[in-house]
Amino acid sequence: MAVNEHPRRTPLIAGNWKMNLDHLQAIAFVQKLAWNLKDAKHDVAAVEVAVFPPFTDLRSVQTLVSADKLPIVFGGQDVSAQDSGAYTGEISGAFLAQLECKYVLIGHSERRTLHAETDEIVSAKVTAALKHNLVPIICVGESAADLELHGPSAVPVAQLRAALAGVTNAADFVVAYEPVWAIGSGKAATPEQAEQVAAQLRLVLTETLGQDVADKTRILYGGSVKGSNIAGFMREPNVDGALVGGASLDIDEFSSIVRFQQHVGL
């Protein structure tokens, strides 16, 4: 099969803005992105486009997307494991769902390292997201030290198994393989490295949730993805899209990533 033509998996290009762009900048960004996509006659059925703004931008992005019926979906960068109550600073999945978020990032390496999120916390957040009808994007990946000690797959495989502890085969979720050493470093994994780990992650899905779930679940690659390297990843049979950090803040670069099919001559 050529470039990710799996009939049951629509590629997803997701932009994680991290703590960048306030709500006014977010409005301008999403308007321009939508314009770029329209100009390029982007086929929304062929590649799904998602942005992950800071929480304080979400209401503005929702209002714009819904009023102008833009072909862009959006989500939160994190979610609380709790529904409501005395959890200062936390954001409930119920609130995200009310703002029409489709997705939520869970277990990003910056949450795992800077906020000490354990596999147990990640699993609880995945359960909370599903409870509120959000599609979790479960982020997994090995550090440079893990890579040296255990090879590329061991840590992401263990993280995925743990994250799926409370998940049934009825759940809709996405997996993002993000080698920590590739995030923000400018040094992406090779497409072969990404494929090797993505294939192992798909095996985990088969073993834990069955073949149907493994066939339909999208596995993204993330780590220094740019317009110039996306096509290589998308040629791999087990890579169904990308989670993009730095390059998602540059409208032209992000638009170029979304339009990866043109880079590969489809």
Catalytic amino acids?
Answer: 108, 178
Minimum distance from CB of 145 to ligand PEP (Å)? 18
What is the Cα–Cα distance from 37 to 28, expressed in whole angstroms?
A: 14
Of the candidate spans 27-35, 150-158, 202-210, 220-228, the one that interacts with ligand PEP by CB under 6 A turns out to be: 220-228
Q: Does 227 bind ligand PEP (CB under 6 A)?
A: no
Q: Which of 4, 92, 159, 224 binds ligand PEP (CB under 6 A)?
A: 224
Instruction: Output the six-digit token pair for 240.
Output: 């169904």
CA angle 153–169–124, rounded 5-degree value:
70
Of the candidate spans 24-32, 91-99, 113-121, 223-231, the one that interacts with ligand PEP by CB under 6 A turns out to be: 223-231
Do the Cβ atoms of 144 and 111 come closer than 8 Å?
A: no
What is the Cα–Cα distance from 253 to 213, expressed in whole angstroms?
A: 32
Q: Which of 94-100's residues contact partners 24+ apart within 8 Å by CB, and which partners?
A: 94/132, 96/58, 96/132, 96/134, 97/132, 97/133, 97/134, 99/58, 99/59, 99/62, 100/62, 100/65, 100/66, 100/74
What is the Cα–Cα distance from 32 to 51, expressed in whole angstroms?
A: 13
Q: Which of 178, 195, 236, 253 binds ligand PEP (CB under 6 A)?
A: 178
Instruction: Output the six-digit token pair for 130.
Output: 């599903």
Q: Does 258 bind ligand PEP (CB under 6 A)?
A: no
Q: Which of 55, 127, 132, 184 binds ligand PEP (CB under 6 A)?
A: 184
CA angle 108–145–155, rounded 5-degree value:
55
Of the candidate spans 24-32, 73-81, 152-160, 177-185, the one that interacts with ligand PEP by CB under 6 A turns out to be: 177-185
Q: Does 245 bind ligand PEP (CB under 6 A)?
A: yes
Q: Does 246 bind ligand PEP (CB under 6 A)?
A: yes
Burial class (CB in 10 A: 0-12, 13-18, 19+), 20: middle
Q: Does 225 bind ligand PEP (CB under 6 A)?
A: yes
Per-residue binding string, ligand PEP, 127-166, x by CB under 6 A, is ----------------------------------------
**3-class secondary structure, 94:** helix
Do the Cβ atoms of 71 and 35 come closer than 8 Å?
A: no
Minimum distance from CB of 54 to ligand PEP (Å)? 13
Q: Does 241 bind ligand PEP (CB under 6 A)?
A: no
Minimum distance from CB of 262 to ligand PEP (Å)? 20
- Measured from the CB atom, the residue of 80 and 224 that comes closer to ligand PEP is 224
The footprint of ligand PEP (CB under 6 A) covers 16, 178, 183-184, 222-225, 243-247
